[in-house]
C-alpha cells in the first residue's frame, strides 16, 4: 500500500486557519478599539453639549434673577409713587377742610367767649381761651357738640381769670374734627 503523508497538508491548513483566526482576532480587536474610541468621543461630545446647555441655563437664570430683582425694585418704587399719590390726593381733598373748620368755629363761638390760641394735631384741635362765665363755656361746648364739623368736646382745664370780669375764666378745651365727607358732617 502506498503511504501518503497528509501531515504537511494538515499543518499548512492549520497554519492558514491560525493566520485567519489571528487576522480575525486582530480585526475584531481593532474594531473594538475603534468602537471604544468612538463611544468615548460621543460621550465626551454629549458631556460638552450638556455643559454648554447648563452654562446657557445658568446665564439665563442669572439674567432672569436680575430681571426679577429689577421687577421687585420697580414694584417697590411703584408702591412708593402710589403712596405719594395717595398723600397728595388726600391733601388735595382736605385742603378746603381747614377753611370749613375755621368757618364752623366762628359760627359756634357764643358771645363772651374769646380764643387765645388754637392748635391742631391730626383730627384733634386744642383751644385755649377766655370766657366771661362758666355758662359761656358750657354754651360753647354744647354748640361744639351739636356742630356737624366737631365732635367730642372735652374741657381739660378751667381757671379763674378776672380779665373779663369777676366771673371770668381761662379754659383749655379739646375737640375732634370730623373727616371731610363723613356721614355726621352736614357740608
Residue 49 has pLDDT above 90, yes or no: yes
Contact 139, 93 (CB under 8 A): no
183: pLDDT strictly greater than 50: no
Q: Is the pLDDT of residue 182 over 60?
A: no
* Residue 126 predicted with pLDDT over 50: yes
Find out whether 131 and 168 touch, Cβ atoms under 8 Å. Answer: yes
Listed range (19-33, 60-74, 91-105, 145-159) with the worst mean pLDDT: 91-105
- pLDDT beyond 90 at 148: no
Residues 6 or more apart from 173 whose CB is under 8 A from it?
Answer: 126, 127, 128, 129, 137, 140, 141, 144, 153, 154, 155, 156
Cα–Cα distance, 116 to 58 (Å, whole number): 72
pLDDT score for 180: 62
Residue-wise pLDDT for 73-118, tens only, equals 999 999 999 999 998 888 787 777 777 888 888 888 888 888 888 8
Task: State the pTM of this model.
Answer: 0.49
What CATH number matches the domain at 97-177, 3.30.1360.100, 1.10.2020.10, 1.10.3720.10, 3.40.50.720? 3.30.1360.100
User: What is the pLDDT averaged over residues 10-36?
Assistant: 94
Q: Is 158 exposed, middle or buried (0-12, 13-18, 19+ CB in 10 A)?
A: middle
180 neighbors 148 (Cβ within 8 angstroms): no
**What is the DSSP annotation of 110-133?**
PTTEEEEEEEEETTEEEEEEEESS
Q: What is the overall mean pLDDT for the chain?
A: 86
Amino acid at each position: 500500500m502506498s503511504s501518503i503523508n497528509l501531515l504537511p497538508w494538515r499543518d499548512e491548513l492549520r497554519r492558514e486557519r491560525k493566520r485567519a483566526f489571528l487576522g480575525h482576532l486582530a480585526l475584531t480587536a481593532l474594531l473594538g478599539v475603534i468602537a471604544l474610541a468612538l463611544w468615548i468621543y460621543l460621550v465626551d461630545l454629549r458631556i460638552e453639549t450638556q455643559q454648554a446647555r447648563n452654562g446657557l441655563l445658568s446665564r439665563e437664570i442669572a439674567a432672569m434673577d436680575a430681571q426679577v430683582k429689577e421687577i421687585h425694585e420697580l414694584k417697590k418704587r411703584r408702591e412708593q409713587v402710589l403712596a405719594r399719590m395717595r398723600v397728595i390726593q388726600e391733601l388735595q381733598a382736605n385742603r378746603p377742610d381747614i377753611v370749613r373748620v375755621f368757618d364752623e368755629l366762628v359760627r359756634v363761638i357764643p358771645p363772651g367767649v374769646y380764643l387765645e390760641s388754637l392748635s391742631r394735631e391730626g383730627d384733634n384741635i386744642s383751644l385755649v381761651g377766655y370766657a366771661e362765665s362758666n355758662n359761656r363755656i358750657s354754651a360753647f361746648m354744647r354748640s361744639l357738640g351739636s356742630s356737624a364739623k366737631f365732635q367730642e368736646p372735652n374741657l381739660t382745664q378751667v381757671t379763674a381769670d378776672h380779665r373779663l370780669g369777676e366771673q371770668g375764666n381761662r379754659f383749655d378745651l379739646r375737640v375732634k374734627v370730623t373727616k371731610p365727607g363723613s356721614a355726621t358732617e352736614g357740608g
